[in-house]
A = this chain, B = another copy of it.
Amino acid sequence: MDIAVIGAGAMGSAIARRLVESGARVLTYLEGRSAATVERAKMAGMEPADLDAVAGTGLILSIVPPANAIAVAEQIAAAIRRCGAKTTFIDCNAISPQTMTQVAAIFGGDCGVVLDGSIIGGPPKTGQKGPKLYISGDAADSSAVLGECGLQVRRIDGPIGAASALKMCYAGINKGVTGLGTAMLLAAIRSRADEALKRELQESLPDLDAKLVNAIPDMYPKAYRWVAEMEEISEFLGDDDPAALIFKGMAGLYRKMAADREGGGLLAGQLDRLNNG
């Protein structure tokens, strides 16, 4: 079984490794990527290939930052048309249903099948089941082969857009909670109410406090990616929904945390001292 995985980041390479371990041959396209990414792909057992070879596989997964999803779709659709191949393309990215509809339109009806996918959970690790790959728009069960190759696939009974919407909603809650905790702990630190807040959280919201203690430091290196993800959630909700503004604010907060990391991590240090105090 040949599968192409576009994107050899932490998630893409770990998914690829799982597929390779299950007996699949995994191609990827690495032109213009950093040495670190090329090395990561190699370690995962991914085989560098040109776009025509990628287009020739029966199944292509796009696992890239949300801001790159459209560009990848355009690149792959062009290669498929050039080769006259038919393939199944699964966009697995944290994009809004509206962006997913654009992705599907890029492929049109002449390139094979386009499916809406979304990944919930962290990159798979050896010995663990790994994240869930939700799939919608898959009436023909074209994604079943991925279940046979070691992934946890869960089909949603809904059209293109439903899997993306699920991811938006889940991330909105999960990463939103982390954002709320980050914002309010920082505000408490500025106001010298941080020790009282920490104690109150431990007493009256202990589960939430425990989640924040883990989730906030996990967020620092990912904050720069979460900016675009929060913007996608805001777009997903749409201007008619007052909650769209919540996620514009979340994007700004994560932009601030990304800048803090670039600039030496002053805020991150304050948060860590409070959480470990």
Contacts of A121 in B (CB 8 A): 204
How far apart are the CA atoms of A208 and B50 in the complex, in Å? 45
User: With an 8 A cutoff between CB atoms, is A102 at the interface?
Assistant: no
How far apart are the CA atoms of A192 and B158 in the complex, in Å? 7
User: With an 8 A cutoff between CB atoms, is A34 at the interface?
Assistant: no
A132, A154, A187, most chain B CB atoms within 10 A: A187
Partner of A161, one of B191, B243, B252: B191
Partner of A193, one of B165, B187, B188, B256: B165
A147-191 interface (Cβ within 8 A of B) = 154, 156, 158, 161-163, 165-166, 168-170, 172-174, 176-177, 179-181, 183-188, 191
Would A173 and B158 count as touching, CB distance under 8 A? no
Q: Per-position contact with B for A189-201: 1 when CB-CB < 8 Å, else 0?
A: 0011100110011
How far apart are the CA atoms of A267 and B179 in the complex, in Å? 25
User: With an 8 A cutoff between CB atoms, is A146 at the interface?
Assistant: no
Would A193 and B179 count as touching, CB distance under 8 A? no
How far apart are the CA atoms of A177 and B173 in the complex, in Å? 8
User: With an 8 A cutoff between CB atoms, is A90 at the interface?
Assistant: no
Nearest-neighbour CB distance to chain B for A143, whole angstroms, equals 15
- Asked whether A255 and B237 contact (CB < 8 A) given A169-B187, A180-B173, the answer is no
Binding site for B on A (CB under 8 A): 97, 120-121, 132, 134, 154, 156, 158, 161-163, 165-166, 168-170, 172-174, 176-177, 179-181, 183-188, 191-193, 196-197, 200-201, 204-205, 207-208, 211, 236-237, 241-253, 255-256
- In the complex, the count of this chain's copies comes to 2
Contacts of A208 in B (CB 8 A): 173, 177, 207-208, 211
How far apart are the CA atoms of A249 and B200 in the complex, in Å? 25
Contacts of A188 in B (CB 8 A): 165-166, 169
Contacts of A255 in B (CB 8 A): 242
Would A246 and B179 count as touching, CB distance under 8 A? yes
A188, A197, A205, A255, most chain B CB atoms within 10 A: A197
Would B191 and A97 count as touching, CB distance under 8 A? yes
